[in-house]
Amino acid sequence: MVMKEEMLMEEKLVINELEQGKELANQLMNNLKFPSSSELDMSLISGILRSYENAIVMLSLDQKTLKRSSPERIDQSNKKRRTSEKKMSEKVKICVGTGQEGTSLDDGYCWRKYGQKVIHGSKNPRGYYRCTHRFTRGCLAVKQVQKSDADPSCYEVKYLESHTCKANLSTTKFSVSVPKDEPKRVHVTEQSVDIIKHMKSEEMMLNLDDLENKKDIFRTFSFSYPETENIPEWKNLMDNLSPTTTSESGITNELLYTSSSSVSVANSPTADSCFSSLESILDLSHVWSLM
DNA sequence: GAAATTTGACCAAG
DNA sequence: CTTGGTCAAATTTC
């Protein structure tokens, strides 16, 4: 594929980000071959992830822009925002195909179901959940979970209001938790991406359903250590893994989590898995560099 | 027995 | 009146 002469600004930025990621990955690879500093490794990984995250966001925004010609979606979005002004903190559509019938929609937070409703036009009922710490910590986070009609293995999750319970416990902005009873899994939750903060909220009405790359990347990096919360670099890393954005800006975002059939998030991580993940990135960036 | 879930009732918005 | 969201009593689970 030959590059277009008139490349969009967004495309240049994306490529730039990916090239940065590739460079960092190469550095990391060298560093792993001749180990010197694990801190350096971590910062490199962090940089790589940030690079890809930014590229993904740019791509998704670009696609959104292209979809503008479809008034339907925009109208719906605007209507949604108008009618739910008081609660417009965050709406995240998450599809999780885990085969565990909804109970496994574990995003690292503790939720208490407080209602269920049949939604007309939908085959499946919608469950209403609020943060378990609503009363103890005054956390107003709420989410709605509904099994997708189109794909029963997917769940659509809307997040309304962001968690304040964990923010109260930590001054850092990341939000990753690993429940004691499930130490093998990292739960990545919503987090802001700097680039997004500077964008118009309308542009954030994203639909990343068609963003296949994103889910692959998240799947690739679904590894964890139970002790990650004690390691600052891991916090940064997880920060960069955030599947959603816009905790504070009242923006709608949609994501697609995919069933983890190929890379198991439950498996203990090893250096090998890290390596294979990195090689995935290298491969990916290699492909991109050819475009 | 405490915590979580279920489910019908209630309420506000359109 | 219909619909989606929440409440709260009843029930279940641990």
Q: What pLDDT, in 10s, does the model give residues A235-252?
A: 443 444 444 333 333 333
Q: How far is the CA of A180 from the C1' of C14 (A)?
A: 17
Token reading at A275: 């390596």
pLDDT at A9: 56
Please check the confidence at residue A263 and state whether its pLDDT lies above 60.
no
Contact in structure between A256 and A215 (CB atoms under 8 Å) = yes
| Strand B reaches within 7 A of the A79 CB | no
Which residues on adjacent β-strands are paired with residue A142? A130, A160
Residue spans of alpha helices (H) in A138-248:
165-169, 194-197, 212-220, 232-241
Higher per-residue confidence, A9 vs A65: A9
pLDDT at A251: 34
Q: Which of residues 169-228 of A touch strand B (CB under 7 A)?
A: none
Q: How far apart, in Å, are the Cα atoms of A202 and each of A36, A88, A133?
A: 46, 13, 31
How does residue A10 score in pLDDT terms, banded at 50, 70 and 90? low
| Strand B reaches within 7 A of the A110 CB | yes
Distant-in-sequence, close-in-space partners of A269: CB < 8 Å, separation ≥ 6: A223, A224, A225
Q: What does the alpha-carbon distance between residue A245 and residue A53 come to, in Å, rounded to a whole number?
A: 11
| Strand B reaches within 7 A of the A113 CB | yes
Q: How far is the CA of A60 from the C1' of B3 (A)?
A: 41
| Strand C reaches within 7 A of the A128 CB | yes
Please check the confidence at residue A218 and state whether its pLDDT lies above 50.
no
Q: How many angstroms separate the most distant Cα atoms in chain A?
A: 60
Distant-in-sequence, close-in-space partners of A142: CB < 8 Å, separation ≥ 6: A87, A128, A129, A130, A131, A159, A160, A161
Task: Kindly state the percentage of chain A with pLDDT values over 90.
Answer: 6
How does residue A118 score in pLDDT terms, banded at 50, 70 and 90? very high
Stretch A75-95: mean pLDDT: 42
Q: How far is the CA of A278 from the C1' of B13 (A)?
A: 51
pLDDT at A109: 81
Strand C: positions under 7 A of a protein C-beta atom? 2-8
Nucleotide at minimal C1' distance from the A113 CA? B5
Q: How far apart, in Å, are the Cα atoms of A117 and each of A113, A120, A123, A219?
A: 12, 9, 11, 31
| Strand B reaches within 7 A of the A124 CB | no
